Structure 1
Amino acid sequence: MSRTLPLFPLNLVAFPFQNLNLHIFEPRYKELIADCIENNSTFAIPSYVKNKVEYGTEMEIREVSKKYDDGRFDIKTRGIRIIKVLKMDNPFKDKKYAVGSIEEISNKNNPDIIMKEEIFEAVQEMYDLVEVDERKLSMDFQIYDIAHQIGLSKDAEYELIQINEERQRQRFVLDHLKVLLPKLRDLQRSKELIKMNGHFRKYNPPQEF
């Protein structure tokens, strides 16, 4: 069953349960957010990654951090669920922004315990290799909780939000980590060698593979 939502396309992938801070400054989106606040309603962020608007995430506004005199907003939002845009009217009737007919994508939360442990250990090793001390992973994590932290490209993140079963998401992420970790280990060894030779100055870990 479809319903309609205001659409706020962005060149990023938002995941369910993700907290996302937004600065709203374009006139059409100032109107969109003002309407959502007034009606206590949600909106969708379709990911404009593949030069089209299709899959994205329904978002709720958790807090208006600041409203400016010119109508701009600083807001805190949180992802709710994955959606698929079936049809878009841009602009919608007398509004400046687009509204889409959307379908909610069902989510089967069926984690595999063995894969979950493998991913947990792999992510902990990744944190150690890139020397990220402040991030600690709890064993009750879901894939969406770590999706932005493991060096996925934007295209890979977009592929991930189209997977509606946790076990398949686990396999997707585990396959990625099995490629990523050997590269990080090699970089770590190179870093240690450079340190030993006295030429090490600054090290920035890779962001995407």
Structure 2
Amino acid sequence: MLPGESADLHIYEERYKQLLKDILKGDRQFGIVLASPLNTRNLGSLVEIIDVTKRYPGGEADIIVKCKELFYLKKFISSYDADSLYPGGLVEELLFDDYLCPKALLFEFEQYKEIRDEQYFFVDTITLHQLALKLPMSEAEKIEYVKCSTFESRVSYLRSFIKYLKLIEIQEKNTYHSIYLN
């Protein structure tokens, strides 16, 4: 998850039911690491529980979490402490600064929305990360975005990604139009 991104989670495993119980007593934050071969750098998201939307009789729960920041998992620990069923780890904060989005990139995004026949209200104060959250990025694409180490490389990545999305939208419209005419 990228900073500012929210997700709905269903907590059903015993270890995570115990984690939920423990963190609701404290600061309501925990880490999620993407378990995927794509995540070669062990990137993770520090998330905060925004809401517990439903509790079930067996201790299961539906929750909403929001990513606060990113980290690297330096060491995985299979049990957080002697009494816990859930894992833990040693982490290092990933400094992932956010800056205002350049107007040229916002213009590219606005063109993409026009192709999709969606309205986007041009806002000068949107940040680069906020723009990234508005794009339909896969896990792999989010990882590539996070790997960009400079502001310029992030802008370049998002510009290329938006151009790619625009091409796909145009191709889909052309295909639909060709099929419709038949």
Bin for the TM-score computed over the shorter chain: 0.7 to 0.9
How well do the aligned residues superpose, as a CA RMSD in angstroms? 2.4
- Conserved 8 A contact 2:100-2:128: no
Q: Deviations over 1:37-61 (max 9, x none)?
A: 0123310111122266710111001
Q: Against the structure 1 CA distance between its residues 188 and 24, is the aligned structure 2 distance closer, same or farther, given a 3 Å change threshold? A: same
- Conserved 8 A contact 1:47-1:158: no
Which of 69, 88, 91 is residue 99 of structure 1 equivalent to? 88
Which of 17, 28, 38 is residue 15 of structure 2 equivalent to? 28
- Is residue 2:168 matched to residue 1:162? no
- For residues 54 and 90 of structure 1, the distance between their equivalents in structure 2, rounded to whole angstroms, comes to 15
* Paired residue total: 179
Q: Report the equivalent of 2:29.
A: 42
Q: Against the structure 1 CA distance between its residues 25 and 136, is the aligned structure 2 distance closer, same or farther, given a 3 Å change threshold? A: farther
Q: Against the structure 1 CA distance between its residues 49 and 111, is the aligned structure 2 distance closer, same or farther, given a 3 Å change threshold? A: farther
Q: Against the structure 1 CA distance between its residues 137 and 105, is the aligned structure 2 distance closer, same or farther, given a 3 Å change threshold? A: farther
Identity %: 21
When the two structures are superposed, what TM-score results if normalisation uses the length of structure 1?
Answer: 0.74
- For residues 119 and 33 of structure 1, the distance between their equivalents in structure 2, rounded to whole angstroms, comes to 41
Q: Deviations over 1:103-131 (max 9, x none)?
A: 11112323452443333324323532xxx
Q: Deviations over 1:134-180 (max 9, x none)?
A: x7455233343343553433212122223354443221111122223
Tell which deviates more after alignment, 68-77 or 146-155: 146-155
3-state SS, counterpart of residue 79 of structure 1: strand
- Conserved 8 A contact 1:49-1:158: no
- For residues 18 and 150 of structure 2, the distance between their equivalents in structure 1, rounded to whole angstroms, comes to 35
Q: Which runs of 5+ in 1 are unaligned?
A: 1-13, 198-209
Q: Against the structure 1 CA distance between its residues 100 and 30, is the aligned structure 2 distance closer, same or farther, given a 3 Å change threshold? A: same
- For residues 136 and 28 of structure 2, the distance between their equivalents in structure 1, rounded to whole angstroms, comes to 33
Q: Against the structure 1 CA distance between its residues 108 and 148, is the aligned structure 2 distance closer, same or farther, given a 3 Å change threshold? A: closer
Q: Against the structure 1 CA distance between its residues 115 and 56, is the aligned structure 2 distance closer, same or farther, given a 3 Å change threshold? A: farther
